[in-house]
């Protein structure tokens, strides 16, 4: 008869395990409601051992946020093949899948982390770190959008449109998490339509944006999301 022997984890392996455990807990409960004891119990180790790898809850939380931000950035990555509308719909599907899976953790990330009093130097450093992670996610999404449009440097109006749309996607996701009262698939499509609408409105004031709109619609198939938006708008005005 043999007995199982628990394998001892290396330092980095244990750190990654604790980050995964913390991220899972933060995805199901508000970070303020998760304690070091909760994390230790879920990881199957003692509370002092958690402190051996992370000096405190904030440092572990920051590591979890960093992991979450990297995963969120990856959701905006899409092959530059096919019509833009279909690509953006794929991106929105993966984005909302992440939001759906990590609800409370996503909310905490986008709202600046857990409710800490930014009075001490460590707390202020945490706020700064969290803000930097959020900015990095937004900048990555912005650069991905430019790449999808095939534009190296955006003129002012296009930059405004893209950054406004990213903010809209973020705020829409946060509102949706509060009750999920609208079907997720509808919001994914709506946000794709929102991007086209923002470009279209800007195109009425700027010839450069009109060129962007023409390029977007040039390869749009009849059953694509942008074509669907045009059909819906046409039916409203006929």
| pLDDT tens, residue by residue, 73-98 | 888 888 889 999 999 999 999 999 99
pLDDT band at 118 (very low <50, low <70, confident <90, very high): very low
Closest alpha carbon to 91 in 162, 37, 175, 23:
162
What would the mean pLDDT of 229-237 be, rounded to a whole number?
Answer: 92
**Does residue 54 sit in helix, strand or coil?**
coil
Mean pLDDT check: name the lowest of 8-17, 158-167, 211-220.
Answer: 8-17
Instruction: In whole angstroms, give the CA distance from residue 50 to residue 22.
Output: 11
User: Are 139 and 161 in contact, with CB atoms under 8 Å apart?
Assistant: no
Instruction: In whole angstroms, give the CA distance from residue 191 to residue 212.
Output: 18
Largest CA distance in the chain: 80
What would the mean pLDDT of 33-50 be, rounded to a whole number?
Answer: 92
Kindly state the tokens that stand for 140: 């990555």
On average, the pLDDT of the chain sits at 87
Question: Residue 202 has what pLDDT?
Answer: 97
Has residue 144 got a pLDDT over 90?
yes
Question: Residue 2 has what pLDDT?
Answer: 43
Question: Residue 126 has what pLDDT?
Answer: 61
């Amino acid at each position: 008869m043999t007995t199982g022997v628990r394998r001892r984890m290396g330092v980095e392996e244990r750190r990654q395990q604790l980050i995964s455990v913390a991220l899972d807990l933060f995805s199901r409960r508000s970070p303020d409601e998760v304690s070091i004891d909760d994390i230790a119990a879920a990881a199957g180790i003692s509370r002092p051992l958690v402190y051996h790898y992370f000096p405190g809850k904030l440092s572990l939380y920051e590591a979890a946020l960093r992991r979450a931000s990297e995963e969120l950035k990856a959701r905006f990555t899409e092959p530059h093949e096919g019509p833009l509308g279909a690509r953006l719909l794929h991106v929105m599907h993966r984005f909302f899948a992440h939001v759906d899976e990590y609800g409370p953790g996503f909310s905490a990330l986008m709202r600046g982390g857990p409710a800490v009093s930014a009075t001490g130097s460590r707390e202020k450093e945490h706020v700064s770190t969290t803000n930097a992670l959020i900015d990095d996610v937004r900048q990555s999404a912005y650069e991905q959008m430019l790449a999808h449009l095939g534009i190296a440097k955006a003129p002012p109006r296009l930059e405004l449109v893209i950054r406004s749309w990213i903010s809209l996607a973020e705020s829409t996701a946060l509102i949706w998490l509060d009750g999920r009262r609208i079907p997720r698939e509808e919001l994914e499509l709506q946000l794709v339509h929102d991007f086209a609408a923002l470009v279209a409105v800007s195109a009425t004031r700027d010839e450069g944006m009109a060129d962007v709109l023409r390029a977007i619609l040039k390869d749009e198939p009849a059953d694509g999301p942008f074509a669907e938006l045009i059909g819906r708008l046409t039916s409203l005005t006929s």
